[in-house]
């Protein structure tokens, strides 16, 4: 009898020490696996949070499923970064260019006859450390049979990213504007820039460096001088489809431009503010205001020009 009681006494202890492990309910597991199969991190995160709230005893198993998904996502992201980096390293000279083209035009008849055209093209090629920017701009207007505005600009700016925020730049620019008194104006500059803000909502950078400028005037004379260039580049995403730009880089007209060039004879300021409203993924309408100032204009020219433009912008 004592032996029988001893065995019975041991049986409850044996079963209590090894209880059956709780398993994640099959419908819950199927729901998580379906979200994981979809590959959307936001959906997986939502499903995992709900599963934890409704199944608090199975948090460890849920975390294991979610951890395996996150590890796979990191592996995919790393492979994609490596693929893009290799593509950039092996890209040809004509590869990886993106850009924006602008066009605006007007015509009026009656008491006055006016026709005007503005064209602009901005191209950029971004590599691992280097970025190349090209810009071309044409403004032309005729009033009552006479040309009243004729301005051409072409610029090239390479940038080298030293750190995530610090970069070096170079700038070569050509301008022609007979109504400001010169047949050609060449500018060259190089220096350093710094990104103060670099986020999806806003971007702000400053740049400065020495500059050289040569001006060929309409009277046949010319002048060369050394000076300094300073600028800022700013973009602010006001809403999903609305963006304000105040861009200090003469080569990027994705918005506004504010550039100050100072030498011993003249100080010139070019300020362009822009407001862009997105119509589609590639098409944008743009309203801009340009303020162009020269402290020492040629004889017969005024020091300040302003221009308000409405254009259509196509991105590619």
Domain boundaries, the chain: 21-89, 97-315
pLDDT digits (tens, 9 = 90+) for 89-105: 777 777 888 999 999 88
Under the banding of pLDDT at 50, 70 and 90, the label for residue 152 is very high
Phi, psi of 186 (to 5 degrees): -110, 135
Q: CA torsion, points 267, 258, 254, 199, in degrees to nearest 10?
A: 140
For residue 83, pLDDT beyond 90: no
The CATH number of the structural domain formed by 97-315 is 2.40.160.40
Enclosing H/E stretch for 161:
strand 146-161
CA distance 229 to 214: 14
Q: Give the pLDDT of residue 302.
A: 81
For residue 202, pLDDT beyond 80: yes
Q: Give the pLDDT of residue 172.
A: 96
3-class secondary structure for 209-273? EEEEEEEEECCCCEEEEEEEEEEEEEEEEEECCEEEEECCCCCCCCCCEEEEEEECCCEEEEEEE
Which percentage of the chain shows pLDDT scores above 70?
87
Higher pLDDT, 180 or 137: 137
Which percentage of the chain shows pLDDT scores above 90?
35
For residue 178, pLDDT beyond 60: yes
CA distance 286 to 277: 6
The token duo for 172 is: 């070569």
DSSP, residue by residue, 295-311: SSPPTT--SEEEEEEEE
pLDDT digits (tens, 9 = 90+) for 229-261: 889 899 999 888 899 998 754 433 334 456 666
For residue 113, pLDDT beyond 50: yes
Under the banding of pLDDT at 50, 70 and 90, the label for residue 14 is very low
Find the DSSP H helices in 90-218: none
Q: Mean pLDDT in the chain?
A: 83
């Amino acid at each position: 009898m004592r032996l029988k009681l001893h065995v019975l006494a041991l049986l409850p202890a044996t079963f209590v020490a090894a209880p059956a492990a709780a398993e994640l309910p099959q419908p819950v597991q199927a729901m998580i696996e379906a979200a994981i199969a979809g590959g959307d991190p936001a959906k997986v995160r939502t499903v995992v949070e709900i599963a934890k709230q409704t199944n608090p005893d199975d948090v460890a198993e849920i975390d294991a499923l979610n951890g395996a998904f996150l590890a796979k996502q990191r592996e995919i992201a790393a492979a994609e970064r490596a693929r893009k980096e290799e593509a950039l390293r092996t890209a040809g000279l004509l590869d990886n260019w993106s850009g924006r083209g602008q066009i605006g035009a007007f015509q009026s008849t009656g008491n006055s006859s006016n026709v005007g055209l503005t064209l602009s093209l901005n191209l950029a090629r971004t590599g691992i450390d280097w970025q190349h920017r090209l810009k071309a701009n044409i403004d032309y207007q005729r009033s009552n049979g006479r040309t009243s505005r004729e301005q051409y600009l072409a610029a090239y700016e390479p940038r080298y990213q030293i750190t995530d925020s610090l970069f070096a730049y170079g700038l070569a620019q050509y301008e022609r504007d007979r109504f400001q008194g010169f047949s050609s104006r060449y500018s060259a500059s190089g220096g350093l820039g710094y990104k103060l803000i670099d986020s999806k909502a806003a971007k702000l950078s400053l740049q400065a460096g020495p500059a050289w400028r040569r001006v060929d005037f309409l009277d046949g004379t010319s002048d060369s001088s050394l000076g300094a260039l300073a600028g800022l580049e700013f973009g602010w995403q006001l809403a999903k489809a609305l963006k304000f730009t105040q861009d200090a880089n003469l080569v990027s007209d994705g918005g506004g431009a504010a550039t100050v060039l100072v030498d011993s004879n003249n100080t010139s300021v070019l300020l362009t503010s822009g407001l862009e409203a997105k119509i589609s993924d590639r098409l944008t309408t743009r309203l801009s205001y340009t303020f162009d100032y020269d402290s020492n204009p040629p004889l017969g020219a005024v020091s300040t020009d302003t221009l308000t433009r409405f254009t259509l912008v196509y991105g590619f």
